[in-house]
Amino acid sequence: MTQIHVSTKINGDAVEFLCEAQETLLDVLRDRLDLTGAKEGCSTGDCGACSVTVDGRLVCSCLMLGAEAEGREIATIEGMAAGEVLHPLQQKFLEHAALQCGICTPGILVAAEALLEKNPDPTETEVRYWLAGNLCRCTGYDKIVRAVMDAAEQMRGA
Amino acid sequence: MVRVAIWGSLRAATGGRAEVEVEANNLRELLDRLAEAYPGIRPQIDRGISVSIDGLVYNDSWFTPIRPDSEVVLLPRIVGG
Amino acid sequence: MALDDKPELEVRVFKIVGSRPIRPDGIDKVTGRARFGADMSAPGMLVGLVLRSPHAHARIRGIDTAKAEALPGVKAVVTSADFGEVSDDLRDILHNVMAHDKALYDGHAVAAVAASSASVAKRALALIEVDYEVLPHVTDVDEAMKLDAPVLHEGRSDETVPAGMSANIMHRFEYGHGDVEAGFAAADEVLERSFKTAATHQGYIEPHACLASMGPDGQADLWCCTQGHYMVRNTCAGLLGLDASQLKVTASEIGGGFGGKTTVFLEPVALALARKAGRPVKMVMSRDEVFRATGPTSSTSIDIKIGMKRDGTITAGWADLRYQGGAFQSSPVQFGAMACFAAYDLANVQAIGWDVVANRPKAAAYRAPGAPMGTYAVESVVDELCEKLGLDRLEVRLKNASRDGTKAAYGPRFGRIGLTATLEAAKAHPHYTAPLGPNQGRGVACGFWFNFGGDTCVSMSINNDGTVSLSEGNPDIGGSRAAMTMMAAEELGIPYERVRTTIADTSALGQNEVTDGSRVTFAVGLATIKAAREAITIMCGRAAKIWGIDEDAVFWEDGHAKPAGPNAGKFPPMSLAEIAAVASNTGGPIAGHHEVNAEGAGVSFATHLVDAEVDPETGAVKILRYTVFQDAGKAVHPAYVEGQFQGGAVQGIGWALNEEYIYGPDGRLQNPGFLDYRIPVASDLPMIDTVIIEVPNPGHPYGVRGVGETSIVPPLAAVANAVSAAAGVRLTELPMSPPKVLEAIDAAGD
Amino acid sequence: MRYEAPRTLESAVSLLAGEPGSAQILAGGTDLLVRLRSGFDEPDLVVDIKRIDGMNAITAENGGWRVGAAVSGAELGEHDGVKAAWPGVVEAAELIGSTQIQGRATMAGNLCNASPAADSVPALIAAQAVARVIGPNGTREVAVGDIATAPGKTSLAKGEIVASIFLPARAARSGDAYLRFIPRTEMDIAVVGVGVSLTLDASGTCTAARVSVCAVAATVLLVEDAAAALIGTPVDDAALERLAAACSAACKPIDDKRGTIEFRTKVAGVLARRAATIAIERAKG
């Protein structure tokens, strides 16, 4: 099967890869580039575990072909911390115990970061609706919402 | 002798008795004596049984002591999620 | 365990237990580094996929795999013929992971392939020819119990099932005491109601996944997401005829389980493919496969009859519970029957359970298996009786509540329990008396779960630098490594940061029971404390040697060995680090370990309060406020205890409102995805408030009770009671999806 | 399967028209990729139209707005001009899926997916939006209501692409709204949805109205009786009740895993009344 050559940027680094036409961006990230932080929970865009941003826009990487990444800038959970320094959202998730099993956590963090870039001072309702596409089965969302709002407050003060 | 409470559907094996008495000093003896005296209980013991002794539930520990005045209740084997 | 441990909670002042440190696996999980089931790969790895039955019930007349095997890139194809004879206790598991002579449900595995890529494997599946003889099917529990229902297995009913009943009834269970008829006669009001609940799925976000490899010598390695890798090892070894010692299973990080990962599905298939192909095989389920072919819980049909006096005294309770457990006997109806009246001190009680098979996937455990449904039915009737008699719902529950020494409805007398403490806390909470608006209602319900312990091994190494490595054998599904680290540090008297807890593979420790039954913090915690105590004894001995005094004259306090009695003050205390630094000089490495069948788990009760609003024109339900009151015995890491309370409550809300398995007339599952299997999303919910009650469990050195399961027991009933109050009509079917609520409102208005 | 990302509409059209096998257009891909993954759809060619000039643009035209076929819901929601003119259309488009889906999903895709439950379509029909269809035989303008012909089926010929959707100029004292019913608060497909667009005169009498209902028939319906119930009235309670009754009467739904016939029929009326109330408020400014 002929493979497609794609040049893109992931977490700030230039990346080239080959993929089959029907491979999703999630397949490429996980199986070709060893970026397994994005998770496959459903492959239908219903769970958000594979969330990444493409040119700054939050998307499900399971609903985008790898080939579409050509020339785009992609950000994944692996690029969220700056070296040793955690992003305030990551730190607040730890402090608030906002994860139990942790499978949804990368997607939720990527989604929450996209929210705070757009809206640094979200209400609880805004956080809940923004994150409605990120399923979490363990926490009941309570501590997740608290952690996002606390991180937002800290980031506004910074 | 230890008095053992038998649950409803297991009473078919004890002639309808809700409580039976067996000579046992520990869990293993209890199950062995029960199976000897009431062979109809055997299939349930094979399927799995838990025993509540004085309010604490035991699954397997043969040598758990049972006192003559202990409250002993048979239960289907407890599982969990 | 030895029962010599006295409850220490009330005398002991904890330094670490009860605080909220950051979990040790946290950074890996917020940075994407944590490796879950599907995150592992191996050189030369193949991709394994499963062919599944499109029929709810069909005889398999033949399977032709020749074309698939001939496809370039296909390295192995397996069917049930590739598995040998197995022992009786494994037979149903084997026939569930790979259909034998019949496909028994939509999604039942019939064959599997391993190929060089996913796309080749997919094409190979399409080339496998299965000759099916489609048979009539049944998916509803009441239908399956009828004499003319299609029969899944002949001759499998056990001796408890009366003659002349449907062969789909596997087991009948009954418990109770007293005289229920006399009890009903003594009541001022007797109410009998029937209920139905739909099957739900645990809905863990991580699909099942594994990576298997096996050499021709039978040595095998398996990486998988599971609640119990020792269970996986034992089961797979049995299914494949391997020695347990030859199969090493490593548990990945696990992306949720809730009971659904307490058995095997892909693992034996991946091993069989790896054996045949001679190469590692990775298998990952799609979400569709998870819904169609793993282990949801039972759908149920329940009748409840309760008698009550005008003063609120419950005179008798009777229940008939019918649970289908899918294609093989596995419904948790016994526990539903045992748990449903557990919150009440009843003189007269009888519960009957029917364990039924139907053409659905074999049920697996789901958080307090069986209890939520029976409890929903009982608590709904109690609620309606309170309403009829004009009684306060909490007062009635307090009046009839099980207390220390109550003879439980399922037989034994309770030891120390915290039900009334949860009820009193609910009564005193501002939530209970907060005003409600129009179309709003408040629901209350209690719940119970047994909890258990089981086989547990822990090994603890005191490293030369004064740090501690703790190995345990239970996959950490919600922060248990933090709890173990805390208990180890507490007992040793050293900082939390000095201990690292690892989940060991099956070669490193003895048998460990699955992470289930809310057992881990209780049982592994107990073993951890015992292992620490063993290490402490050794360290005290080393200090005694150094000081040249008797071992008995040394005691351990605040992380130090100290001379005692006549020697007190003679020598400066030696810290753990100081003793560890000279371990080689004093006798060699220092370690503690503990292996136990941890009996003596403490039961746990909860009371939930919920406010709901119903849109009378659409039947839409909104949860406005929710408060959980639950007895944790002792909350080791309160944040994760709260998390268990909140998570269980929200799973229960989903079960109550929108989650359901929907089968079409063809017996096929119509909603095998998160689009139409509707688990709660963030915007559906309010904050879930929690109140931790601590009534210590005498069976644990720190008083710990399991907390993971009880929290899903009350919400079905609590939400149903709130919605019924808000809608002005009693709802008796779950889920209370908007069409059902609207239909009930409209019917009541007609 | 081949993947192509042409730079011009002409080459997209010729790729699609020239494909001897089956071909699919990829805009947001939020429906297409689900079908690809499930094996429901196995096209030989996928043509990604996002790299074509103009596909990602929202442009003012004759007092209205032209929305390119690849404009995502999120981009539409950030466009103050369209939001001010057609808030009902924007809110409908923004109801398609989660935040993540919004980052990709397009109105044109929602239209061409031809689901009877498409959220943006009732609002577009109520707004009298027009799709610009470009194909091997040139360009044609098609009322949005004429695109879908049956569930999953469209009137588009081989090689034809919906290149943009035109929202016409908005009359004075007009307002639109879209409401749908879903079991949860997010992430569900509409069980029933209603779009209402109406115009009032200076006295508050309704002079024009369009009402469209989704998920109650094989295609999204334009309910003329419902509009007639409003026109010429002050849109009082009596008119709203007639509107609700007309909407319910127009429903020809099915029982399925998402809702019953009775439920959809009744709730169509309830939502019509509620949506019209919002539209009136908007018309009154």
Q: Is B8 helix (H, G, I), strand (E, B) or coil?
A: helix
Would you state the pLDDT for residue B78?
Answer: 81
Judge whether D62 is closer than 8 Å to chain C, CB to CB. Answer: no
Taking domain D1-49, whether its CATH number is 3.40.605.10 is answered by no
Instruction: Check pLDDT > 80 for residue C3.
Output: no
Q: Are residues A64 and A35 in the same domain?
A: yes
* Chain A residues whose beta carbon lies within 8 Å of the beta carbon of residue D34: 43-45, 63
What residues does C605 pair with on adjacent strands?
A: C448
CATH of the domain at A40: 3.10.20.30
Provide the number of structural domains found in chain A.
Answer: 2
Measured in angstroms, the CA of A130 and the nearest CA of chain D are apart by 6
Q: D residues 243-272 near A, CB within 8 Å?
A: none
Over range D87-93, report the average pLDDT: 98
Measured in angstroms, the CA of D173 and the nearest CA of chain A are apart by 31
Judge whether A11 is closer than 8 Å to chain C, CB to CB. Answer: no
**pLDDT tens, position by position, C559-568:** 999 999 888 8
Q: Which of C22, C647, C680 sits opposite A138 (nearest CB)?
A: C647
Measured in angstroms, the CA of C88 and the nearest CA of chain A are apart by 34
Residue D96 token pair = 């398609």
Measured in angstroms, the CA of C200 and the nearest CA of chain B are apart by 14
Judge whether C207 is closer than 8 Å to chain D, CB to CB. Answer: no
Q: Which of A33, A62, A79 is the last residue of a domain?
A: A79
Would you state the pLDDT for residue B77?
Answer: 86
Over range C318-342, report the average pLDDT: 97
**pLDDT tens, position by position, D155-175:** 999 999 999 999 999 999 999
Q: C residues 668-697 near A, CB within 8 Å?
A: 673-675, 679-683, 685, 687-688
Q: Which of D36, D37, D103 sits opposite A57 (nearest CB)?
A: D103
Q: Same fold for the domain at D1-49 and the one at D174-284?
A: no
**pLDDT tens, position by position, C652-672:** 999 999 999 999 999 999 999
Would you state the pLDDT for residue C6?
Answer: 45
CB contact under 8 A, C411 and B76: no
Measured in angstroms, the CA of C257 and the nearest CA of chain B are apart by 8
* For chain D, domain boundaries: 1-49, 174-284
Q: Are residues A99 and A139 in the same domain?
A: yes
pLDDT exceeding 70 applies to what percent of chain C?
A: 99
Q: Are residues A104 and A149 in the same domain?
A: yes
Closest CA to D60 of D167, D177, D143: D167
Q: Write down the mean pLDDT value for chain C.
A: 96
Would you state the pLDDT for residue C626?
Answer: 98
- The residue of chain C nearest to residue B5, with distances taken between CA atoms, is C411
- The residue of chain A nearest to residue D30, with distances taken between CA atoms, is A63
Q: What is the DSSP string of C254-321?
A: ----TTTTSS-SSHHHHHHHHHHHTS-EEEE--HHHHHHHS----EEEEEEEEEE-TTS-EEEEEEEE
Calpha distance C431→C629 (Å, rounded): 12
**pLDDT tens, position by position, D98-151:** 999 999 999 999 999 999 999 999 999 999 999 999 999 999 999 999 999 999
Over range D45-64, report the average pLDDT: 97
Torsion of CA D222, D227, D229, D233, to 10 degrees: 170
Residue A112 lies in domain: 88-157
Would you state the pLDDT for residue C565?
Answer: 84
* Chain C residues whose beta carbon lies within 8 Å of the beta carbon of residue B43: 158-159
Q: Which of C176, C412, C518 sits opposite B8 (nearest CB)?
A: C176
Judge whether C483 is closer than 8 Å to chain D, CB to CB. Answer: no
Q: Which residue's entry shows tokens 């399409």? A: C126
Q: B2-76 has which fold?
A: Ubiquitin-like (UB roll) (3.10.20)
**pLDDT tens, position by position, B2-34:** 999 999 889 999 999 999 999 999 999 999 999
Angstrom CA distances, C114 to A71, C123, C548, stand at 35, 11, 65
* Chain B residues whose beta carbon lies within 8 Å of the beta carbon of residue C517: 78-81
**pLDDT tens, position by position, A112-148:** 999 999 999 999 999 999 999 999 999 999 999 999 9
Residue C437 token pair = 């608006």
Q: Are residues A70 and A9 in the same domain?
A: yes
Instruction: Check pLDDT > 90 for residue C5.
Output: no
CATH of the domain at A96: 1.10.150.120
Torsion of CA C84, C88, C94, C95, to 10 degrees: 100
Calpha distance C510→C381 (Å, rounded): 47
Measured in angstroms, the CA of C432 and the nearest CA of chain D are apart by 26
**pLDDT tens, position by position, A52-109:** 999 999 999 999 999 999 999 999 999 999 999 999 999 999 999 999 999 999 999 9
* Chain D residues whose beta carbon lies within 8 Å of the beta carbon of residue A68: 5, 26, 29, 48, 50
Chain A: touching chains (3 or more CB pairs < 8 Å): C, D
**pLDDT tens, position by position, D235-266:** 999 999 999 999 999 999 999 999 999 999 99
Q: Which of D99, D182, D186 should we substitute to test contact with A (largest number of A Cβ atoms within 10 Å)?
A: D99
Would you state the pLDDT for residue C9?
Answer: 47
Domains of chain C: 26-34+453-598 (3.30.365.10), 37-135+207-254+261-293 (3.90.1170.50), 299-451+602-749 (3.30.365.10)
Q: What are phi and psi of C577, to 5 degrees?
A: -65, -40
Contact residues, chain B to chain C, C-beta under 8 Å: 5, 7-9, 12, 18, 40, 43, 47, 52, 54-61, 64, 71, 73-76, 78-81
Q: Which of A25, A48, A79 is the last residue of a domain?
A: A79
Instruction: Check pLDDT > 60 for residue C111.
Output: yes
Would you state the pLDDT for residue C750?
Answer: 75
Q: Are residues A106 and A132 in the same domain?
A: yes
Confidence of residue C7 (pLDDT cuts 50, 70, 90): very low
H, E, C per residue of B10-69: HHHHHCCCCEEEECCCEHHHHHHHHHHHCHHHHHHHHHCEEEEECCEEECCCCCCECCCC
CB contact under 8 A, D184 and C681: yes
Burial classification of residue C91, based on how many CB atoms lie within 10 Å of its CB (0-12 exposed, 13-18 middle, 19 or more buried): middle
Closest CA to A79 of A62, A56, A102, A47: A56
Closest CA to B2 of B27, B36, C408, C410: B27
Judge whether D270 is closer than 8 Å to chain C, CB to CB. Answer: yes
Calpha distance C443→C689 (Å, rounded): 15
CB contact under 8 A, B40 and C159: yes
Q: Is B3 helix (H, G, I), strand (E, B) or coil?
A: strand
CB contact under 8 A, A62 and D33: yes
* Chain C residues whose beta carbon lies within 8 Å of the beta carbon of residue D259: 738-739
Q: Which residue's entry shows tokens 């009693």? A: C730
* For chain B, domain boundaries: 2-76
- The residue of chain A nearest to residue C28, with distances taken between CA atoms, is A102
Lowest pLDDT segment from C6-20, C419-433, C541-555: C6-20
CB contact under 8 A, B7 and C350: no
Would you state the pLDDT for residue C452?
Answer: 85
Calpha distance C563→C545 (Å, rounded): 11
Closest CA to C83 of C92, C95, C75, C66: C95
**pLDDT tens, position by position, A20-52:** 999 999 999 999 999 999 999 999 999 999 999
Instruction: Check pLDDT > 70 for residue C8.
Output: no
What ipTM, to 2 d.p.? 0.97
Task: Report yes or no on whether pTM surpasses 0.95.
Answer: yes
CB contact under 8 A, A24 and D37: yes
- The residue of chain A nearest to residue D188, with distances taken between CA atoms, is A46
Over range D189-208, report the average pLDDT: 97
Would you state the pLDDT for residue B54?
Answer: 87
Calpha distance A36→C340 (Å, rounded): 43
CB contact under 8 A, A45 and D33: yes
Q: Which residue's entry shows tokens 């040119």? A: A55
CATH superfamily for domain D174-284: CO dehydrogenase flavoprotein, C-terminal domain (3.30.390.50)
Q: Which of A61, A79, A97 is the last residue of a domain?
A: A79
